[in-house]
A = this chain, B = another copy of it.
């Protein structure tokens, strides 16, 4: 028995078919609709809700947990839980415009490319100079490698005085008679679990020209890396299914960047890619299951130099795609990028670096020695698992303060508030603790324990004690911070604090012996360092030593793109880093529990 589903999305309408009992989420994903399902369709994140019309079934108990009565009445259901048993009409919400926090602190990057487009003129051959054409080209370009395809082209070129050679290190990537097109661009790409950011750089000047960023389309298969790996494991062709949309989205991003800047994708010759180890595996279509299971072993961590056509990336086909090296399964190439950005290989003293994303990767160097670990912070700071959580997009509450007994907040782009992003969340926790809304254990106080002015903010949301952040008059929706949300933040900040402690113990340093604390990650750039210290995510004595470097991973990718020494530096750094596995570290478990409170 098959049913017809009429899907309305972005003003368009389409009819698709499915079989009786099919999960609606699966049907929609299979038909190319972009539905968020952070939890991988397990019914535990509530993000995949859609509005249905027609003969709709009553909500299940899982759905009731994530939908309020008004939503249920309007026909909202969790698509991962809904088994189709009738014809339906599905109304999908318009996708938000995404303006990810992509800023970086470092503005001037040295340019010293390992790639060049050179016009050469071969000396006329004479009986006294019978040097073969290939050798002449090698000599003119200081290269010594060519592939068979380019070698075969040479006979048809040799009458010409003006050849254009695309050279990468000691290799000829392409040789042609084309007139030199001055356009010479490169891309630095940060493939995050949540968002992908593509920076377009002019390779002639080293200047950043434009940015394109978008949600990682894999997030419909799960918000975190483990859900995604589970998806690849549980579904036939899961690895390909996981790889295809992110490649497609990157190629679309490239096209957009090119057309917005009056160039073509053929003008783009190089791409450097950072991302956590699992994102890089999945981008390359390489099964990452072994990273998900103990003992968490990646397939590869070394840097890679690949051809665009091999990877399926649509830049100039003769160009080069470079993956930065990763450190381990849970300290990825993004962290290598951070380390390049802070010049960890040249830094004096003792330095701490924290990249806060879904995982909190922590690096500590004491002179030559570098230690790293990855604390499973969870995606709280990226908006997942928080009732009204959202990424750092337009309308996200990004700062929060209590002044004169009133809640003051700002949103990204000053739009109407739509939810809470990581920096706003952290501010809220700090302010509520500072002003006595919550105990140091994280518990929201009972009504009778609160001051009079505070009582009006106390409320309930879905059987959870909650603090009401916005009223309806501010926005379309009422936004709450629930007890559960606070617990999520405690888990996240506790993990990071414990990770820092482990590295300090390992290096036998006290916190106050650290010279600098770098905070990386899109989120990290926007947090209030004082609040991060106030809630003891970072030792309080370090407040004045914090340097926010923004998207250090992305900046690292740019350095790798522009500077030929970066590859060797990255390999060197990788070799120096000792990774400490926290999942079985007893000391970490103890520290973790101790670090939960405020």
Contacts and interface: CB of A to CB of B under 8 A. Distances in A.
A156 B287 contact: yes
A132 B300 contact: yes
Contact of A299 (B130, B155, B296, B298): B155
Given A290-B155, A299-B154, A284 B132 contact: no
Nearest to A583: B127
A133 B298 contact: yes
Nearest to A296: B130
Given A148-B306, A284-B148, A286-B155, A581 B127 contact: yes
A134 B289 contact: no
B299 A126 contact: no
Contacts of A129: 295
Nearest to A129: B295
A350 to B, nearest CB: 25
B299 A134 contact: yes
A133 to B, nearest CB: 5
A152 B300 contact: no
A284 B134 contact: no
B135 A302 contact: yes
A301 B134 contact: yes
A289 B156 CA distance: 10
A153 B329 CA distance: 18
A1 interface: no
A311 B151 CA distance: 12
A310 interface: yes
A15 to B, nearest CB: 38
Nearest to A144: B302
A132 B148 CA distance: 32
A94 interface: no
Given A155-B286, A287-B156, A306-B148, A301 B135 contact: yes
A276 interface: no
A297 B148 contact: no
Contacts of A572: none
A289 B154 CA distance: 12
B151 A297 contact: no
A385 interface: no
A584 B290 CA distance: 68
Contacts of A148: 284, 304, 306, 310-311
Q: In the complex this chain forms, how many copies of it are found?
A: 2
A299 B158 contact: yes
Nearest to A290: B158
Nearest to A300: B134
Interface string A480-524: 000000000000000000000000000000000000000000000
A13 interface: no
Interface in A255-293: 284-290
B126 A290 contact: no
Interface residues of A, number: 44
Contacts of A130: 295-298, 328-329, 579, 581
A9 interface: no
Tell which of A131, A151, A289, A583 has the most Cβ of chain B within 10 Å: A151
Contacts of A156: 287
Interface in A112-147: 125-135
A294 interface: yes
A123 to B, nearest CB: 11
A429 B310 CA distance: 62
Contacts of A285: 152
Tell which of A128, A135, A289, A310 has the most Cβ of chain B within 10 Å: A135
A230 to B, nearest CB: 15
A301 B139 CA distance: 14
A305 to B, nearest CB: 10
Contacts of A302: 132, 134-135
Contacts of A297: 125, 130-133, 158
A290 B155 CA distance: 8
Interface string A63-97: 00000000000000000000000000000000000
Interface string A307-325: 0001100000000000000
Contact of A295 (B125, B155, B298, B329): B125
A304 B154 CA distance: 15
Interface in A537-588: 579, 581, 583-584
Given A155-B286, A290-B158, A298 B132 contact: yes
A156 B126 CA distance: 56
A151 B299 contact: yes
A299 B132 CA distance: 5
A451 to B, nearest CB: 49
Nearest to A328: B130
Contacts of A135: 300-302
Contacts of A579: 130
18 contacts: A127-B295, A127-B296, A127-B581, A127-B584, A128-B581, A129-B295, A130-B297, A132-B297, A132-B300, A134-B302, A148-B284, A151-B284, A151-B300, A151-B304, A152-B284, A152-B285, A154-B300, A155-B299
4 tightest CB-CB pairs across the interface, nearest first?
A155-B287, A134-B300, A132-B298, A125-B297
